Homo-oligomer: A and B are copies of this chain.
Amino acid sequence: MKTSDILNKTVKTLSDPDSYQALFHNHRDGDPFPSENELARIIEITRSILFPGYYGASQVNSVNMSFHMGIALEELGSKLSRQIAAGLCFSGDDATDCSKRGKELAWKFIEKLPSLRQILATDVRATYNGDPAAINMGEVICCYPDIKAITNYRIAHELLLLGVPIIPRMITEQAHSETGIDIHPGATIGSYFCIDHGTGVVIGATSIIGNNVKLYQGVTLGAKSFPLDENGNPIKGIARHPIIEDDVIIYSNSSILGRITIGKGAVIGGNIWITEDIPAGTKVLQKK
């Protein structure tokens, strides 16, 4: 068959509604669509706001700080409004409402930035304290993948609390791709959180993590199984991931599964599979 014939035949097949069905997203004219590139830029701007001098324009100083904050917040407000609107449209809301509501929610998010910065400062400190190889706080902010993943998570979690659809998940998936750390935006995580190395960490959607918790690479906070409805489909929205209380440490490649509780101050060794509650203060070690 000639190339032009293959072209025409394949165009025809692929343009047939029977072929694309659920794999096609039919936009209403002019609706914005969530954009990976725009979200990546939003994260960049937010990092430049939260960690001035480490990200964004390097010449920021105490004299010109407010100019830089002003311009960055304005750009963030504009881009985030549009992405939130895109998320709302994606979920089927009316386009005019999306645009108006996108703007409202973006500026509600912006109001949270000072407190976001406060809690991230505790994560940076915990990471620095937890690694004998860390030279200074600056190295932690610039190089450590957990700070990148936790920053994206904390941004995404705020957006999820504001009711923004899909965008939060896209933001945490970008960190997942960059760091190998997969934190669902729905998880609840306290202050002074730190993850060492991080590749392979999974934190499920209904996990609850207290303050001063430390995880190592490969740790899973997962679901054990999920109840099915009468049609055999998983029931959505049930609490199915663990509760990790304050001051817990979980070593590499261990899995904590199901709605169980790891009590305050417990230490879980590496390569361990846990599906039941662990009392506070317990040390669970690898069997030999």
Binding site for B on A (CB under 8 A): 3-4, 6-15, 17, 19-27, 29, 31, 33-34, 49-54, 58-71, 73-74, 77-78, 90-91, 103, 107, 110-111, 113-114, 117-118, 120-121, 124-125, 129-133, 135-139, 141-145, 165-166, 169-170, 173, 176-180, 182, 184, 186, 197, 199-200, 202, 204-205, 216-218, 220, 222-223, 226, 233-238, 240, 252-253, 255, 257, 269-273, 286
Contacts and interface: CB of A to CB of B under 8 A. Distances in A.
A281 to B, nearest CB: 17
13 contacts: A15-B65, A17-B62, A20-B65, A23-B54, A23-B117, A24-B53, A26-B53, A27-B61, A33-B58, A59-B74, A70-B70, A132-B236, A180-B199
Please tell me how many copies of the chain the complex holds. 6
Contact of A236 (B11, B133, B137, B169): B133
A90 to B, nearest CB: 6
Contact of A77 (B7, B22, B253): B7
B165 A117 contact: no
Contacts of A10: 69, 73, 110-111, 113-114
8 pairs of A and B residues whose beta carbons are closest in the complex = A67-B70, A25-B53, A33-B58, A132-B234, A15-B66, A273-B286, A15-B65, A133-B205
A133 B160 CA distance: 13
Given A14-B49, A67-B66, A202-B199, A186 B6 contact: no
A271 B255 contact: yes
A229 B169 CA distance: 41
Contact of A52 (B23, B53, B54): B23
B25 A135 contact: no
Given A20-B65, A22-B137, A24-B51, 8 more contacts: A3-B103, A6-B110, A14-B49, A15-B66, A22-B124, A24-B54, A26-B62, A273-B286
